[in-house]
Amino acid sequence: MNTEQTVAFSEARMLEFLESASDEDLDRLDFGVIGIDAGTNVKRYNRFESAAAGLSKDRVIGYALFTVVAPCMNNFMVAQRFEDAQEQGSALDDTIDYVLTLRMRPVKVKLRLLAAPDRALRYVLVQRQT
Amino acid sequence: MSNETDQDSLQAPAYEALIQFLYQAPIGLLQIRPDGTVTMLNPRSAQLLMPLAQQGNLDNLFEVLSEVAPDLRSLADAAVDPGSLVCEGLRIPVLAPTGSRRVLGLSLLRLDTHTMMGCVNDVTHEVELEQQRLASRMRDASRTDSLTMMPNRSAVLERIQQALARSENNALHNFAVLFINCDRFSRVNLTLGQQGGDRLLRMVAERLNGTVRQRDAVGAVQEPLNTTARLGGDEFVVLLDGLRASEDVHGIAQRLIDTLSRPYLIEGVDVHISASVGVVTRAHAATDANAVLQDASLAMQEAKRSGGGRHMLFTPSIKDRATRRGALELELRQALDQRELFVVYQPIVDIADGRIAGFEALVRWQHPKRGVVSPVEFVEIAEECGLIGPLGEFVLESACWQLAAWKRRFGADAPKMVSVNLSRAQLQDTAIVRQVRRALNLSRLPARALQLEVTESMAAQGDDMRDRLLELKALGVTLALDDFGTGYSSLACLGQLPIDVVKIDRSFVADAESNLHKRVLIEATVRVARSLGMSTTAEGIETEGQAALLATLDCNKGQGYLWSRPLEAAAATQWLAVQLNRPALPDDGPIAAAR
């Protein structure tokens, strides 16, 4: 329990943790976690993100992230990065400043984009900034 | 917002649908406060504006756009009334990280004191289309002659090139390029002013369009692609692309000339011009449109030289002649510098007593390779290339200088005058009066010792020429009408010209002994001239019989091979010495050598 609580947004071995973490583990995090498969469909969606975005897990899981769930990420800064990494078979771990348009509200966030060639799921981590 | 709350359950389905609608809208929507703070925006807005945002910061629209639309904030401040537009479709250039250039269109509307509503979309494609349309309009403008709205040079060159390509691919494809120049247009421009001249050019264009398009389309093998174009000035081009047969061009060219020669009613006055047409047909067409146009222009010039009001088919020999003329022009310039030109003198004799009245000065060119070149060949070139001024001045000064030398050498027995021919271009130039005065001053000859010869076609042409003749006459020089009988003027017109001497053309003298008609004409000329106070000089007298006949016809003076052919200065001096029974002096030679 303690170890899980100490996992920070900037945790170096984040991808390994996410791979091994259960849904409950993810729900205890204080930042949003969205896991997508090779076809960009949402496979994992934690409680924090659901609350912040105002979208229930059911409405999100199985849907295409960039076209249905979060079209505000469908651009060169986010979607393109995953595509490039996938195409080049390279790892991706980058944190960027970003503005989400959840419910039409501009929300300044930090996004951490995570992918690795040998991992089935790729992740977008969302940390709200105040 | 508790983590337990399912937001979906709190949202009315209609509200959710509305959010989805705004979310998915393919246009960027946003709401800001008057200070630019973004309060709402949809994903499309964020996507479009993100490339402009520093570190993904879309907090304030004015800051995001501060570099590309620096005036936006002041525009927004100015639009205070609710419902007023801050901007509409404001173009914002964006350099995407991929390197491609996009253009955004931004519209902002003030809703109330606290809120502005904006919409942003990608107008790159629209801008590109606009630029294409503009470029196409510009291209049209740059391909149209603004005076006549006809295609211009670059447009017709393109079409000639297309015709060349078509004929290359299809042995049956005939075409012809007609280069049309209005004869005497510059005179019309002078008389009517530029406005009248422009009006005339527009009327010419209309007639060309009417003649070519309506009539020659009939009966063509395929739809012909005729083009009428204006190159500039009074130069027009007609491209007949898809002629049935090359020979047809003769009829069409003549019809064009006939049409253009009909009077034009401008400002209540009938204006008459004619046209010279140079024609290039497929048979002699160069492979390049520019060259085709040049060749057509050469043929046009040839038509003009032949008197104008006609058409001339381009042949390689025309080009050869033009090349030769070009070479001659260059050589003539050098000849003037290197003193290859010289003056020969033919005596003019009192027919009654055989006394030497004077000499006619004639220019010759000692070409280093071709030998002596006739003035027939080079005076026209000199006129065309502007060398006639220095050439004419050279002859004038040489002749006056020579007569002065003879006066020093032979005293009272010296010939009384020297006669110099003026060309049309010389007479058109106001400088001629100054040149004559200068030649007289330099040689210290009295004006009456100089006779200037003009042809009747020049003298009969226009008020300018007449004024110039009067100015020359006012100097005190004698004016002679050269080649009388070969031109347009009749005996009846003689009295209207400020002329002192009528020179009867050699063609009358040659068979005057056998041809009663010619004899009667000479007699009538002499009588009319005398009645008008003019004297007569017969040219081309070769036999004693001709001299005797002209004496009985009361012709005053004569010149011709009977007395002497034209002689170089030194030979003329020696000839004079012999005639005057004076011993030849050693310095008779150097007179010629000095010139």
CATH number of the domain encompassing residue B521: 3.20.20.450
Chain B residue with minimum CA distance to A109 = B56
Report the amino acid identity of residue A13. R
Looking at the 3D structure of chain B, how many domains does it have?
A: 3
Does B68 touch chain A if contact means CB atoms closer than 8 Å? no
One DSSP character per residue, B321-357 reads HHHHHHHHHHHHHHHHHTT-EEEEEEEEEETTT--EE
Residue A71 has pLDDT above 50, yes or no: yes
Q: What pLDDT does residue B489 have?
A: 57
**Considering the domain A2-128, what is its CATH architecture?**
2-Layer Sandwich (3.30)
Q: Residue B48: closest CA among chain A residues belongs to which residue?
A: A75
Interchain pair B47, A74: CB under 8 A: yes
Report the C-alpha gap between B198 and B232 in whole angstroms: 11
A106·B46 Cβ contact <8 A: yes
3-state secondary structure of B559: coil
- Tell me the CA distances in angstroms from B282 to B185, B231, B587, one per residue in order: 30, 21, 63
Q: What number is the ipTM of this complex?
A: 0.76
Q: Which one of B29, B33, B47 would you mutate to disrupt binding with A, by most A Cβ within 10 Å of its Cβ?
A: B47
Q: How many CB pairs under 8 A join A and B?
A: 81
Give per-residue pLDDT as tens, A21-48.
999 999 999 999 999 999 999 999 999 9
- Taking an 8 Å cut-off on Cβ atoms, the answer to whether A104 and B40 are in contact is yes
Both B87 and B228 in one domain: the answer is: no
Residue B457, SS3 per DSSP = helix
Is pLDDT above 50 for A3?
Answer: no
Extents of the domains making up chain A: 2-128
Query: Please, which residues 92-131 of chain B have a Cβ atom closer than 8 Å to chain A?
Result: 96-98
The residue out of B258, B292, B314 marking a domain boundary is: B314
| Structural domain contains residue B24 | yes
A chain contacts of residue B8, beta-carbon cutoff 8 Å:
54-56, 59
B interface test, pick of A48, A66, A72, A96 with most B CB neighbours within 10 Å: A72
Q: Which of A70, A77, A103 sits opposite B19 (nearest CB)?
A: A103
Do B549 and B465 lie in one domain? The reply is yes
B414 and B532 in a single domain? The answer is: yes
Q: Is the C-alpha dihedral spanning B73, B77, B83, B89 positive or negative?
A: negative
Which residue in this structure is represented by tokens 């927004």?
A: B76
Task: Judge whether B194 is closer than 8 Å to chain A, CB to CB.
Answer: no
Same domain, B168 and B87: no
User: Are B46 and A56 in contact (CB < 8 Å)?
Assistant: no
What is the end-to-end Cα distance of chain A in Å, rounded?
Answer: 27
Report the CATH number that the domain containing residue B35 is assigned in CATH.
Answer: 3.30.450.20
> What is the C-alpha to C-alpha distance for residues B368 and B337, in angstroms, rounded to an integer?
13
For an interface test with A, give the residue of B1, B8, B54 to mutate (most A CBs within 10 A): B8
CB B440 within 8 A of CB B462: no
Per-residue model confidence (pLDDT) at position B5 = 46
> What CATH number is attached to the domain comprising B172?
3.30.70.270
CA atoms within 13 A on the CB side of B536: 29
Same domain, B109 and B252: no
B214 touching chain A per CB within 8 A: no
Q: How far is A84 from chain B (nearest CA, A)?
A: 13
Interface of A with B (CB under 8 A): 47-48, 50-52, 54-56, 59, 70-77, 96-101, 103-106, 108
Q: pTM of the entire structure? A: 0.50
Chain B residues with CB-CB distance to A33 below 8 A: none
* Residue range(s) defining the domain that contains residue B281: 147-314
Same domain, B274 and B396: no
Q: What angle do CA B165, B170, B176 make, to 5 degrees?
A: 60
Residue numbers in chain B where pLDDT is lower than 50: 1-6, 8-10, 214-223, 589-595
